[in-house]
Structure 1
Amino acid sequence: MNIRIKPLAALLPVLLSSPSGAVELLATLDPVIVAATRQPTRASELVADVSVIERKDIETASHAATLGELLSREAGIEFSREGGRGASESVFVRGTNTSHTLVLLDGLRVGSATLGTTALNTIPLSQIERIEIVRGTASALYGTDAIGGVINIITRSGKEAPRLELEAGGGSHGTYQTSAAHAGQFGDFRYALRVGADGSDGINAVRNRSSAAYNADRDGYAGDNLSLNLGYAPSKAFQVGGHYLQSRTETHYDASWPTANADWRNQHLLSSMGAFAQVQPLSFWQSTLRVGRGTDKSVNRPGSDFGVEKDSFVTIQDQFSWQNDFKLPVGNALLIAERLEQRVEASQSYALTERSINSLQLGWNGNYKAHRLQANVRHDANSQFGHKNTQTLGYGYQLADAWRIAAGYGTAFKAPTLNDLYYPNTPFVGVGNPSLQPEFARNREVALHFESNNHRASLTYFRNNVSNLIQWEETSPGSWFYTPKNVGQARIEGLTLQYRAQYGDWQVYGNLNYQDAENAETGKQLTRRAQQFATLGLTHRIGAFDWGGEWHGSGQRYDDAANTRELAGYGILNLHARYQLEKGVSLFARVDNLFDKRFEYARSSTTNYGNMGTVIFAGIRYTLK
């Protein structure tokens, strides 16, 4: 790959030259992050490439957005969807596959063990307090799947005086969104109960009439969700807590089976529940026990013309973790023992329905004078694939008060999913391959950071080589029958520039991304990944009024391994505003894709998927303390 560094490097001093009278950045621009080390650490003290989405970011800019759309604003993350909102969403972190990103909910795995991905469209933004994003290999911290990165979603809990929260909104395409919550803290006890519902009449997801899947209807969705979060902390040396989240959706989609122009329904249930107990036996030792279960259920049914269930898949992931943190004279150490059990219950027969992984991890991170260090090693004993060892090593150095550098090396692996291995032989779909081997990755990166009172900027170079890449391929052209193979190696190389600053009542942010994500065996670009994409935005506060705009653009992509189906590049402009009517009452509005740009996130060999076009959404929020 031939990346031009000069244009990006030239931008850095320009971005950093600002009025000396600019006010200090909000403290949230140097947030405390857990996901990068599994210990609370300031972002400026990390060597990993990280970012955080706070609740205030969600409330000011994302009332009508989905989780996938929200994540796509962040550096290094691309987004794809087959149709309108409510349809299945995918994100690609640093050019890796969707299944190469580990998604956690309150620190626990959530998603499908058959697909190896998480249904992001089923996780409502109303339930989220913050999102921590780690870019780069992280298997030495979390085990299988973390080849491209980790997304840790933290749900909302009660941390303030008890309050009632109500929110309702509506907009284009019959879109609606409602939520209600009561949350707060009484002495040592905290609680949060939240419920919500959302949906849309949708759009016709299939655009081309020539497709056998074309159906002249609107492919909408409807969903509901609830969560309960409890905690009890009588002292700093002891606390317990737990959470439960459930989200249900029903999405319409078009298909060409069992007859042309068929209308189908996907009913999806995603749930996560967990509990923890944390004690501090000694001043330098903290111990945490955590147990949890993630459930993903997907049922596909033909429309009323057929009226019978076609297939269903339920995957359950039971998790146990015992983490011990030690404060040392220099830095912090951790020792973690974990167990993961996965099983599938399906309407079709799988050759194997259960597997498990036992893990042991050691880690250390800390600062010494101008030096920053992080080291992690992990051993995973997989019931199918034996023993795997992974490592992460990072180093940073403070060059001057505002300038620092960081470099890292890490390895990661991903075990084949149960679908990859054992998907039942199904006409016009395919069959699994029990001979598959795990994917393995080696990642290298180096970064330059600038961090002052009113600016945050970074320039990161990364290179990730993935061997034994798993790819589903047609057994013969036009057969519509697929099977997975270890096709060789993917080589992913790129540069990312990030910037965020506060200028009085103005805040500006953005990221520019250049990458080459290719199959090293064929030289072809990996599907649905662009070589350039970017986000640029600003927000402004005038008394009780907040407003802002955001532009997001992407270069061309391909939707097939042979690079014959081109997806054209696009650029869209979004606007948002919020007005505080009185204490506890605010109005909000958002316009997505202001200029009604028409483009495709995805396309199959016979089907072109549409997008939402311009979407207007507005609502009201009420808080009573």
Structure 2
Amino acid sequence: MKTCVFHARLAALPLAVAAAFPLTLLVPVSAFSQSSQSGPSAASAQLIAQAGTTPQLKETVVTATRSAQPIGDVIADVTVIDRETLERAGPVGLADVLVRVPGMQMTRNGGIGSTTSVFVRGGESRHTPVFVDGVRVESQTTAGAASWNNIPLSLIDRIEIVRGPSSAVYGSDAVAGVIQIFTKRGQGAFSPSVTVGYGSYNTSRVELAASGSAGAFDYSLGLTQGQSDGFNARTIAAQNPDADGYKSQSANARLGFQINPDHRIEANVLQSHMDAQYDGGLTRDFRRISDLQTLGLQWEAKWSAQYSTKLSITQGTDTGEEGLNGSTPQISYDKSTISTLLFQNEYRIGAHLLSATLESRRDVFRLVGSTAVPAGMSSINRDRSLDGVGLGYGWSGGAHTVQFNARHDRDSEFGGKTTGSAAYAFALTPQWKVSASAGTSFRVPTLYQRFTIYGSPTLKPESGRSVEMALKYRQGTAQYGVTVYRNRLTNLLSFVPGNGPCLNGGPPTVLSNRGCYANTAQAQYTGLTLTAAETLGNVHVHGSLDLQNPKNLVTNRTLQRRSRQYGTLGAEMPLGAWQLATDLVMASHTFDSDTSNVVLPGYSLVNLSATTALSRDWKLVAKLDNVTDKAYQTAATYANGRRALYVGLTWAPL
């Protein structure tokens, strides 16, 4: 019955927006800077600009406001990772690439395929929503973050990262930032490619891809398979000393049809499968088998030189099975599904852009066979809905740029929540720009956190208030910046060991030492980020330094597994027929948990890569990670990879 009601609401949503849209002319909306004529997407505009065929085009980004903007007009703190950078990364996970970005840090319980967390500006991993071609991907289990291991790096064409609260644009979850991932969009003649690679730990990878266009139809297809024997992720005496490897397969398709110059329909699908080992005792070896599926369908329409719309229907599904290695019966099974209908309107009046967005979302969670299911129940089957309306205003003229956003969300469990943001930038000179912004955010607890034996239906949403200021310099190839921020969160949601009884199951004698999720505290994330990039001769140098203090204000302790100092330094240069690159990642010590004094020492990692064109159609990539063979941990008792070499060969006929 709930499903029928939800789909009825989705069907009625466009009509509601059409009726309400005239009211948006009276309210602030998101910034937009784009020609009134149809043009390439943000990703293709970047590729064309890099190729140098149309110098008048500026690189554009869409994540900050959900509208395409030249990156120079964006007030938010944004980083773009291009395809060239991803190709040099080798057989690593998405999180390994993100940690080279200012303001981001990662922890992982072992190698690729194991539990991974990504912290943006010190926030929790769940505080950063992730989208793949516009499809929100998120798990309703445990902490509720995206399944970072199931997003295949090889199929990604471009990544946009926004640091700072964005709930006024994206609703729940966007407390620390937003990450948008884009696969390739087909254009031009048929273009196939094949990549094979091999490296340390018996790691291998095969990738097949093809893209192009025919008339009004364009397509991009990808298929990848990888595996590794891995390494012993837990070297302590009580755990199995075997290597913990993984196998993965992924496929995607992005299809578009340009009905006419003003209307485009696009469909995308991605399917990813990961089978990873982990230790569960001295002789027992467990497996986590996880699958990620994204489905998206959108229609972009330009009704006049001033008015355009986008209607999209998306679904992201994350499933997981836990079991003993080599055994058929599963121990537990979980499935999280997020279905979304988005209707976005944009209206330009001269240099002003007004917009209105209606979004309807439904989350469904199923858990079977887990010890987390309350006594007397065989499974957990829960769902919730969240509907939101977002409004905003953007204007850029002369030395001034302003951005306002407001959004109201209504959750079926928690009721209404209103968030807003305001930002202003002023160009002191053509090279120097100063900006300031403030915003509010929120995140509702996951269905796992509320309805398993570790949770409570009385949990409250986390709520944040943030301010930041930035000073940036840009002249030719030189870019320098400093950003200071403070994000204060109330009702911080944490897992408290030994806290019980929880409200969802059984007598206190059973639950007294189990632990529960609870709104335990206030948190404050403060920090200073320094960035720099410069080209010296034929060497491009870039780096960042984060001085942060993510703190639990009740206990006055630094939040777990987050460094107070974190920095990166990289350089790229040509050498004959080769393109060489190196990067250095440095992190200070962390505490393994909020309640213990177990200290994880700081570390420095050096990585090298080299690429060369063997011929017109063949390219070689070599990658050496952890050059100094550093032994380090980002989670207590879990090892990370040591020195590893990988070599890949790509055939891509021109």
- Tell me whether the two structures share a fold, i.e. TM-score over 0.5: yes
Matched residue, 1:176: 204
Matched residue, 2:561: 528
Is the alpha carbon distance of 1:208 and 1:64 closer, same or farther for their aligned partners in structure 2, counting shifts above 3 Å? same
Matched residue, 1:5: none
Report the Cα distance in structure 2 between the residues aligned to 1:450 and 1:563, rounded to whole angstroms: 42
Report the Cα distance in structure 2 between the residues aligned to 1:166 and 1:470, rounded to whole angstroms: 45
Matched residue, 1:372: 401
2:216 equivalent among 163, 188, 201: 188
1:487 equivalent among 514, 517, 520: 520
Shift of 1:25: 13
> Would you say 1:512 and 2:533 are equivalent positions?
no
Report the Cα distance in structure 1 between the residues aligned to 2:198 and 2:442, rounded to whole angstroms: 43
In structure 2, the gaps of 5 or more residues are: 1-49, 501-510
Report the Cα distance in structure 2 between the residues aligned to 1:561 and 1:66, rounded to whole angstroms: 27
Is contact 2:134–2:296 with CA below 8 Å preserved after alignment? no
Alignment of 1:51-62 (within 5 A): 51-59=79-87, 61-62=88-89
2:459 equivalent among 419, 436, 440: 436
Is contact 1:37–1:365 with CA below 8 Å preserved after alignment? no
Matched residue, 1:216: 241
Is the alpha carbon distance of 1:343 and 1:420 closer, same or farther for their aligned partners in structure 2, counting shifts above 3 Å? same
Kindly provide the amino acid, as one letter, of the partner of residue 469 in structure 2: V
Moved more, 263-272 or 321-330: 321-330
Is contact 1:352–1:422 with CA below 8 Å preserved after alignment? no
Is contact 1:136–1:147 with CA below 8 Å preserved after alignment? yes
Alignment of 1:409-448 (within 5 A): 409-423=438-452, 425=453, 431-448=454-471
1:68-94 residue CA offsets vs partner (Å, 9 max, x unmatched):
000000000001100012222210000
What SS is found at the alignment partner of 1:516?
strand
Kindly provide the amino acid, as one letter, of the partner of residue 82 in structure 1: N
What SS is found at the alignment partner of 2:544?
strand
Report the Cα distance in structure 2 between the residues aligned to 1:505 and 1:522, rounded to whole angstroms: 50
> Would you say 1:201 and 2:224 are equivalent positions?
no
Identical aligned residues as a percent: 31
The size of the alignment, in residue pairs, is 584
Moved more, 497-506 or 522-531: 497-506
Matched residue, 2:508: none
Matched residue, 1:88: 115
Report the Cα distance in structure 2 between the residues aligned to 1:544 and 1:232, rounded to whole angstroms: 39
Is contact 1:113–1:317 with CA below 8 Å preserved after alignment? no
Shift of 1:184: 0.7
> Would you say 1:406 and 2:435 are equivalent positions?
yes
> Would you say 1:597 and 2:618 are equivalent positions?
no
What SS is found at the alignment partner of 2:558?
coil
1:400-454 residue CA offsets vs partner (Å, 9 max, x unmatched):
010000100010000001111011x3xxxxx211110000000100000001111
> Would you say 1:245 and 2:278 are equivalent positions?
no
Is contact 1:243–1:273 with CA below 8 Å preserved after alignment? yes
> Would you say 1:538 and 2:571 are equivalent positions?
yes
| CA RMSD of superposed structures (Å) | 1.9
1:565 equivalent among 598, 601, 604: 598
> Would you say 1:77 and 2:104 are equivalent positions?
yes
Matched residue, 2:6: none
Matched residue, 2:293: 271
Matched residue, 1:48: 76
Is contact 2:107–2:117 with CA below 8 Å preserved after alignment? yes
What SS is found at the alignment partner of 1:528?
coil
Kindly provide the amino acid, as one letter, of the partner of residue 473 in structure 2: F
Matched residue, 1:315: 336
> Would you say 1:582 and 2:615 are equivalent positions?
yes
Is contact 1:111–1:270 with CA below 8 Å preserved after alignment? no
1:101 equivalent among 101, 123, 128: 128
Report the Cα distance in structure 2 between the residues aligned to 1:169 and 1:71, rounded to whole angstroms: 22
What SS is found at the alignment partner of 1:274?
strand
Report the Cα distance in structure 2 between the residues aligned to 1:152 and 1:246, rounded to whole angstroms: 17
Moved more, 470-479 or 44-53: 470-479
Shift of 1:558: 0.8
Matched residue, 2:28: none
Shift of 1:65: 2.3
Report the Cα distance in structure 1 between the residues aligned to 2:556 and 2:525, rounded to whole angstroms: 11
Is the alpha carbon distance of 1:351 and 1:266 closer, same or farther for their aligned partners in structure 2, counting shifts above 3 Å? closer
What SS is found at the alignment partner of 2:486?
strand
Shift of 1:497: 0.7
What SS is found at the alignment partner of 1:161?
coil
What SS is found at the alignment partner of 1:624?
coil
What SS is found at the alignment partner of 1:495?
strand
> Would you say 1:297 and 2:300 are equivalent positions?
no
Report the Cα distance in structure 2 between the residues aligned to 1:563 and 1:249, rounded to whole angstroms: 32
Is the alpha carbon distance of 1:31 and 1:250 closer, same or farther for their aligned partners in structure 2, counting shifts above 3 Å? same
Report the Cα distance in structure 1 between the residues aligned to 2:622 and 2:360, rounded to whole angstroms: 45
1:289-329 residue CA offsets vs partner (Å, 9 max, x unmatched):
1001100000001233x642110001111110000111122
Matched residue, 1:343: 364
Shift of 1:217: 0.8
Moved more, 95-104 or 494-503: 494-503
Matched residue, 1:326: 347
Report the Cα distance in structure 2 between the residues aligned to 1:536 and 1:226, rounded to whole angstroms: 33
Q: TM-score, normalised by structure 2?
A: 0.87
> Would you say 1:381 and 2:414 are equivalent positions?
no
Report the Cα distance in structure 1 between the residues aligned to 2:596 and 2:469, rounded to whole angstroms: 30
In structure 1, the gaps of 5 or more residues are: 1-23, 426-430
Is contact 1:95–1:492 with CA below 8 Å preserved after alignment? yes
2:306 equivalent among 274, 284, 287: 284
Matched residue, 1:551: 584
Shift of 1:131: 0.4
Is the alpha carbon distance of 1:164 and 1:509 closer, same or farther for their aligned partners in structure 2, counting shifts above 3 Å? same
Is the alpha carbon distance of 1:29 and 1:497 closer, same or farther for their aligned partners in structure 2, counting shifts above 3 Å? farther
2:497 equivalent among 474, 477, 493: 474
What SS is found at the alignment partner of 2:441?
strand
Q: TM-score, normalised by structure 1?
A: 0.91
1:29-73 residue CA offsets vs partner (Å, 9 max, x unmatched):
9731100011111222111111000111111x3023210000000
Is the alpha carbon distance of 1:350 and 1:330 closer, same or farther for their aligned partners in structure 2, counting shifts above 3 Å? farther
Is the alpha carbon distance of 1:189 and 1:502 closer, same or farther for their aligned partners in structure 2, counting shifts above 3 Å? farther
Is contact 2:455–2:518 with CA below 8 Å preserved after alignment? no
What SS is found at the alignment partner of 2:614?
strand
> Would you say 1:460 and 2:483 are equivalent positions?
yes
> Would you say 1:39 and 2:84 are equivalent positions?
no
Report the Cα distance in structure 2 between the residues aligned to 1:449 and 1:482, rounded to whole angstroms: 46
1:248-303 residue CA offsets vs partner (Å, 9 max, x unmatched):
010000114xxx54210110000101010111112100011100110000000123
> Would you say 1:114 and 2:136 are equivalent positions?
no
Report the Cα distance in structure 1 between the residues aligned to 2:546 and 2:203, rounded to whole angstroms: 32
Shift of 1:146: 0.4
Matched residue, 1:16: none
Is contact 1:244–1:272 with CA below 8 Å preserved after alignment? yes
Shift of 1:109: 0.5
Kindly provide the amino acid, as one letter, of the partner of residue 338 in structure 2: Q
Is contact 2:137–2:147 with CA below 8 Å preserved after alignment? no
Matched residue, 1:450: 473
2:640 equivalent among 582, 594, 611: 611
What SS is found at the alignment partner of 2:112?
coil
What SS is found at the alignment partner of 1:216?
coil
Matched residue, 1:500: 533
Kindly provide the amino acid, as one letter, of the partner of residue 189 in structure 1: F
